[in-house]
Amino acid sequence: MKIVIINYGAGNIQSIKFAIERLGYQAVLSDSEEEIRSADKVIFPGVGEASSAMSKLRETGLDKVIPTLTQPVLGICLGMQLMCTGSEEGETIGLDIFNVDVVRFRESVKVPQIQWNTINNLSSPLFNQVAEDSFIYMVHSFYAPVVEDTIATTTYGLPYSSALAKNNFYGTQFHPEKSSAVGEQILKNFLEL
């Protein structure tokens, strides 16, 4: 199986690569359209600020490539947020795969959320053998509200989408590569889709 992790300078790719290797697979880091299109599975990571990350995608033309991919694609953290219609962070126009705008947590909670939290209302093969209320690792200041594409929720001040899915596209707000055995199971499920 050919697994490509999109490398567009938005951090955190080595820990995902190591998590894939722990599952017994190899992953390639690439920003090549040809290589990405030929992959069996694509992982779209991201750590950082939305508008600068989108600028990097536009510079490489990947903003046009990613929404047209037909194999399973997993956006992680900022990767998931960039797959949404837009984000309050930097007034960013997103890839518009998921029909939802990403917004900032309000002052009633500590921002960013940096903690272990639980996932609930699991409704996708992405969560096979993952129990309700399993703990996952979160680091973020912005979130996607609960919408039709929501396949898992987390509560932090209010319930929000901790995972989204539409057609061949999946996104997790949390970091499966940093979420211990639960995250490992979610990555394994994605690779077996």
Q: Known catalytic residues?
A: 77, 175, 177
Q: Which amino acid is at 86?
A: G
CA 193/CA 117 separation, integer angstroms: 25
What are the DSSP calls for 92-135, one per residue? EE---SEEEEEEEPPTTS-SSEEEEEEEBS--SGGGTT--TTEE
Q: What share of the chain is helix, strand, coil (3-state, %, to 5)?
A: 30, 35, 35
CA 187/CA 27 separation, integer angstroms: 12
